[in-house]
Amino acid sequence: MVKIRIDDRELEVQEGITIFNAASEAGIPIPHFCYHPAFVPEGTCRMCLVEIEGVPKLELACSTVVRDGMIVSTQSDRVRDGRKGVLEFLLAEHPLDCPICDQAGDCKLQDYYEDYGLYESQFSEVKDKHDKKVDLGKHLIHDQERCVLCRRCVRFLCEVTGTEDLGVFERGSHTEVNLYLDNQVDNNYSGNLAQICPVGAITDKDFRFQTRSWFLEEAESICPLCSRGCSIQIGYHPGFSRFSLPKRVYRIRAKTNETVNGYWICDLGRYGYRYLDENRATNLKARDSQSRIQWDAAVTLLSEKIKRLYYMKRTSRITVILNSALTNEELYLAGKIFQKDLTDVNIFFADAAPESGDDVLLTSERTPNRRGALELGFDLKPVDMDILSSQTDLVIIFGTHILETHSLSDLSNAMENIPAKFVLAPHTSDLDPMVDMVLPSTHIAEKAGSLTNIDGLVQSFQSALHPLGESQAEWQVLVDLGKELAINFKFYGQFSNPKNINREMGKEVPFFGK
Amino acid sequence: MSEKQLSKLFGLENSHQIDVYIEQDGYRAVKKALSELTPETILDLVKAANLRGRGGAGFPAGIKWGFVPKGVDKPKYLCVNADEGEPGTIKDRYLMTNVPHLLLEGIIITCYCVGIHVAYIYIRGEYEMVAQRLEQAIAEAHAQGYLGNNILESGFDLEVYVHRGAGAYICGEETALLESLEGKRGNPRLKPPFPASIGLFQCPTVINNVETLANVPSIILKGAGWFCQQGLPKDGGTRLFGVSGMVQKPGVYELPTGSNLRDLIFQHAGGMKEGKRLKAVIPGGMSSPVLKADEIDIPLDGDSLMEAKSMLGSGAVIVIDEETSMLDVLKIITDFYSHESCGQCTPCRVGNPWIRKIVHRLCQGIGGPDDIDNVRRLADNIMGKTLCPLGDAAAMPILSLTEKFREELITSLNERRQES
Ligand SMILES: Cc1cc2nc3c(=O)[nH]c(=O)nc-3n(C[C@H](O)[C@H](O)[C@H](O)COP(=O)(O)O)c2cc1C
Ligand code: SF4
Ligand code: SF4
Ligand code: FES
């Protein structure tokens, strides 16, 4: 540890770290463009200037390592003038098209101009022209006039994906970032470029001109599309329901999570957000009823049907199809009800089929909680169609993934003679006409709980969005069902949120008690 | 007193051939170094001689070699900077054309001293004939046992390769040179780390200018004391000054370090061309701040020029006469640096082209004294804030010229406004 002073703060910091990192740890902001914690500092934007006592020149915070006794000033007049000079250069040839720029409101050039600029422009020359619409590939557009040449994008493609599609060409005022030959940026991580570009130079085709960033709110969640469990940030319009806007969710971005995904997410997770709002099941539907049903009536009906079989000692004729996109807490409750209380229920899992992963983040398991299901003792058996067709009197299907592995005709043949059929799923699907009742549920972004990723890391999360329409989280439905069944009422009576379910689960399953 | 060491053989027929060179006592220094001296003694000698770098920055060579860490198990490299890109500089070309073996001798001794077995000569792309001469000299030295394995039975091995640049001034900056040599875009590296510890291919590397290395053989043969006497105690030896511009006899002159600038121009270079009067001198290549005609009674050594707020740089003396417009000189300077900025860091990439746009406008008679103030303000915002010294190299001459010739610039501007 070394002792340093930054402005008025006496700090004790790790030896060998940079002034920038020491300042960040202490919450002292330092303006920067080229520095990004994922990469070795390159020191090219020159925005992070600081003054070090006894050093004649201004130095770079991003690349200067702390020394014991160092006295650093981040706000002296010299520092402010230095930064202002750099910013003036960055803005001199900049097109100043903020009114039509997606980055506006979220842009370091704007932020720092508020902090350090606020000068009258002294640039009275004709600005250089560059290409404003370079198509970089499937998801991205590059505006060379807005580019500050921080090389974050270039470094990302060298160091993270290794695809090296972008390079720096020409020099001096002609310097530009561009594609090598006829390359395209079309790897599964390309969307990160729009996110790490500190200005509006790389924009996301999916987000371009859709909304203004200041209309959006951001909430954290976990990506459910593979078993990595990347932290995500969902940008949504809070006034969606009131203003009948075309979209609720406008974008998903990576949320920094050092232990899981670092600073990135894959394009599958980034652009896969449509599942959040498209084809949603928003109302309870019962086949033989024209009038609307309420949740409590639906749960009572379900529980009555289960109880009848239970009293007849025929629970072996109940089939439950779970999935590993359910949270640990939900799977724990399902296990409790269907395995412990009702004893010999048939339990199967229907999940999205595995696909090939890569060695960055994406795993081949396209479901977020396989590991959690295993730790809870499920054997993740796939659906046995014989049992479904000839040994089932009541089926509850969680989710709609079964449609990915079985044909519609096989399913409808198998289910034809089952007297009681229920679906509990976030999306409408071809299952709906086959069953007696469709119960709308939520997905990960609309609920709280925890997931166990491929490495066995249990990550809890809060709900980011309100459940759409009448949809309810599965844990809530299972708690209500448990209470209604009244086999073990007291046990379910104690649960009012995923947290207390989690606590109980930790007592019972040592893996979750850690 | 002082003898010509570097240019002694300039003009001698076939001085570039090894036989002629050996006849003139060539390769004696290598023989002496390899058979009689240890690397440590050589390092002490070069330190005591106060041999300063001739490439521009004037850093003492012995101290630089001493920075190379000992006992690392990576290879070490010598990179000879023969990029000679600083406008006005012509000395290295003369050296390499006339006495390539003198450079090779310097390389061999330096490598022996530092424990290096591979040296690269990074030569300016336009110097095609010179590069061929070097290749030929290397082949000759190989044939006679001065290069290759077990040189002169000493057990010391060395290979020398010539690498031609592709025409970028920035590749003369030592770390950009390393990048270019590695096959990458010639962008300067952020320091630290310094090349002495992490240089070419991440290995310890010494980078020296051609002329710096060409001084080494005479230090070996005649000693450090003698070398200091040739120049100044703290800045030993002679230097090759390349004089260009409005003088009678432009060319390369070898004079003791510390010689007077006025003498160089008016005696050695024959004074001003017929009917021309001296207005200004750029004393050390285009990056060095300009001196006015009444400031040239000055010794040509690093410290004295620093005191006069200029630089000895690469020893390229550019002589400007009364009829040359300083506005045009300013235009040439800013054209050059805008064009040669690698574009990596903000102040240099944007600042230089911005200054250039203003100066071009002024050259058309559009603008006023405010623009000159703005040029100075911008140069000041570049100064000291860039990643490599090219930023300062651009800002310094602009700042000095606009300070010393402000009135003239305004007059030219007004004249051009009336003309247009
Ligand atoms: C922009 C720039 C261009 C340079 N060009 C050259 C050059 O052409 N030749 C040279 O020897 N040194 C050049 N230098 C200086 C080198 O960086 C380095 O200081 C020198 O090669 C070290 O050798 P020396 O110590 O023997 O002088 C240049 C420096 C800068 C900043
Ligand atoms: S496009 Fe963005 S990330 Fe890439 S260099 Fe330009 S400003 Fe930086
Ligand atoms: S000062 Fe100029 S040449 Fe040097 S790194 Fe910066 S942009 Fe490149
Ligand atoms: S953040 Fe330090 S130079 Fe860019």
CATH code of the domain covering residue B291: 3.10.20.600
Q: Roughly what angle, to the nearest 10 degrees, separates helices B346-363 and B326-340?
A: 150
| Domain A2-75 falls under CATH 3.10.20.740 | yes
Of B298, B321, B344, the one marking the end of a domain is: B321
Continuous segment of H or E residues that includes residue B254 = strand B251-256
Q: Is residue B106 part of a domain?
A: yes
Q: Is the same domain home to B184 and B256?
A: no
Same domain, B49 and B176: yes
The candidate with the shortest Cα–Cα distance to A346, out of A312, A381, A305, is A381
| Pick among B191, B356, B358, B385 to test the A interface (most A CBs inside 10 A) | B385
Report how far Cα B303 is from the mean position of its chain's Cα atoms: 16
Ramachandran area for residue A398 (φ above 0: left; ψ -120 to 50: alpha; else beta): beta
Residue B6 lies in a domain: no
B97 and B195 part of one domain? yes
Q: Give the pLDDT confidence score for residue A241 in this predicted structure.
A: 67
Would you state the pLDDT for residue A242? 64
Instruction: Residue B255: give the domain boundaries.
Output: 238-321
How many Å lie between the centroid of ligand 4 and the Cα of residue A371? 42
pLDDT at A246: 74
Q: Check: CB of residue A264 under 8 Å from CB of residue A255.
A: no
Say whether pLDDT at B41 is over 80: yes
Beta bridge partners of A171: none
Q: Give the ligand with the smallest distance to the CA of B55.
A: 1
For B125, the token pair is: 């792309």
Residue nearest to atom 3 of ligand 2 (CA): A197
How many angstroms does the Cα of residue A48 sit away from the middle of ligand 4? 5
How does pLDDT run across B209-264, given as a tens digit for each residue? 999 999 999 999 999 999 999 999 999 999 999 999 999 999 999 999 999 999 99
All residues at 6 or more sequence positions from B329 whose CB lies less than 8 Å from its CB, including other chains: B280, B290, B320, B401
B40 and B85 housed in the same domain: yes
**Any domain includes B405:** yes
Q: What is the DSSP string of B122-146?
A: EE-TT-HHHHHHHHHHHHHHHHTTS
Count CB-CB contacts under 10 A for residue B224: 19
Residue A439 C-alpha from the chain's centroid: 25
Output the CA A167–ligand 3 centroid distance in Å. Answer: 17
How far apart, in whole angstroms, are the C-alpha atoms of residue B204 and residue B226? 31
Q: B265 and B176: one domain? A: no
User: Within this chain, do residues B69 and B119 fall inside the same structural domain, yes or no?
Assistant: yes
Task: Please indicate, yes or no, whether residues B60 and B132 belong to a single structural domain of this protein.
Answer: yes
Q: Sign of the C-alpha dihedral, residues A81, A83, A84, A85?
A: positive
Tell me the CATH number for domain A127-276: 3.30.70.20
Of the residues B185, B208, B230, the one at which a domain ends = B230
Which candidate, A134, A264, A104, places its Cα nearest to that of A199?
A104
The pLDDT of residue A292: 86
Instruction: Give the CA angle between residues A42, A45, A51 to the nearest 5°.
Output: 90
* Same domain for B196 and B63: yes
Structural domain includes residue B1: no
Q: Are A397 and A422 in contact (CB under 8 A)?
A: yes
Q: What is the DSSP string of A60-78?
A: ETTTPBP-TT-EEESSSHH
By Cβ distance, the residue of B190, B346, B352 closest to A172 is: B352
| Residue of B334, B337, B340, B346 to mutate when probing chain A, most A C-beta within 10 A | B346
Contact A18, A40 (CB under 8 A): no
Domain co-membership, B386 together with B296: no
Touching B: A residues 112-151, CB under 8 Å? 122-123, 125-126, 128, 148-149
pLDDT of A182: 85
Which of A40, A49, A62, A109 gets mutated to test ligand 4 (max ligand atoms within 8 A of its CB)?
A: A62
Which has the closest alpha carbon to B349: A141, A150, A117?
A150
CA–CA dist A78, A53 (Å, integer): 12
Given a cut of 50, the residues of chain A with pLDDT beneath it are none
Residue range A285-513, CATH number: 3.40.50.740
Domain extent listing, chain A: 2-75, 127-276, 285-513
Task: Say if ligand 2 is within 6 A of residue A177 CB.
Answer: yes
Ligand 1 site, residue B20, Cβ cutoff 6 A: no
pLDDT for res B1? 52
In whole angstroms, how far apart are CA A221 and each of A232, A253, A273, A357, A466?
5, 10, 12, 21, 13
Q: How many percent of chain B have pLDDT more than 90?
A: 98
Q: B418: which 2 tokens?
A: 């009336």
Predicted pLDDT at A243: 67
B5 found inside a domain:
no
Percent of chain B with pLDDT over 70: 100
- Answer yes or no: is the C-beta of A201 below 6 A from any ligand 2 atom: yes
Query: Hey, is the C-beta of A89 within 8 angstroms of any chain B C-beta?
Result: yes
Read off the pLDDT band of B128 (50, 70, 90): very high
CA distances from A37 to A20, A107, B358 (A): 10, 18, 38
Ramachandran sector of residue A448 (left: φ over 0; alpha: ψ -120 to 50; beta: rest): beta
Best mutation site among A42, A108, A171, A174 for testing chain B: the one with the most B CBs within 10 Å?
A171
Residues B316, B330, single domain; the answer is no
Does residue B373 share a domain with residue B242?
no
From B302, B321, B340, the end of a domain falls on B321
Contact A97, A209 (CB under 8 A): no
Rounding to the nearest 10 degrees, give the CA dihedral for residues B220, B225, B229, B233: 110
Q: Please judge whether B353 and A128 are an interchain contact, meaning their C-beta atoms are less than 8 angstroms apart.
A: yes
> Residues near A77 by Cβ (< 8 Å), separated by ≥ 6?
none
* Out of B350, B354, B384, closest to residue A57 by CB: B384
Quickly list DSSP for B360-397.
Answer: HHHHTT---HHHHHHHHHHHHHHTT-SSSTHHHHHHHH
> What six digits make up the tokens of B162?
């010539």
Q: Is residue B252 a contact partner of residue B93, using CB atoms and an 8 Å limit?
A: no
The alpha carbons of chain A give a radius of gyration, in whole angstroms, of 28
pLDDT band with cut points at 50, 70 and 90 for residue B409? very high
Same domain, B315 and B357: no
The pick from A42, A134, A147 for probing ligand 2's pocket by mutation, whose C-beta has the most ligand atoms within 8 angstroms, reads A147
Interchain CB distance below 8 Å, A174 and B343: yes
Average pLDDT over residues B186-210: 97
Identify the pLDDT of residue B2: 65
Among candidates A44, A125, A173 on the partner chain, residue whose Cβ is nearest the Cβ of B358: A125
DSSP for A347-402?
Answer: EEE--PPP----SSS--S--STTHHHHHHTT---PPP-HHHHHHS-SEEEEESSTH
- The total number of structural domains in chain B stands at 3
A92, B361: Cβ pair inside 8 Å?
Answer: no
Partner-chain contact B387 A46, CB within 8 Å? yes
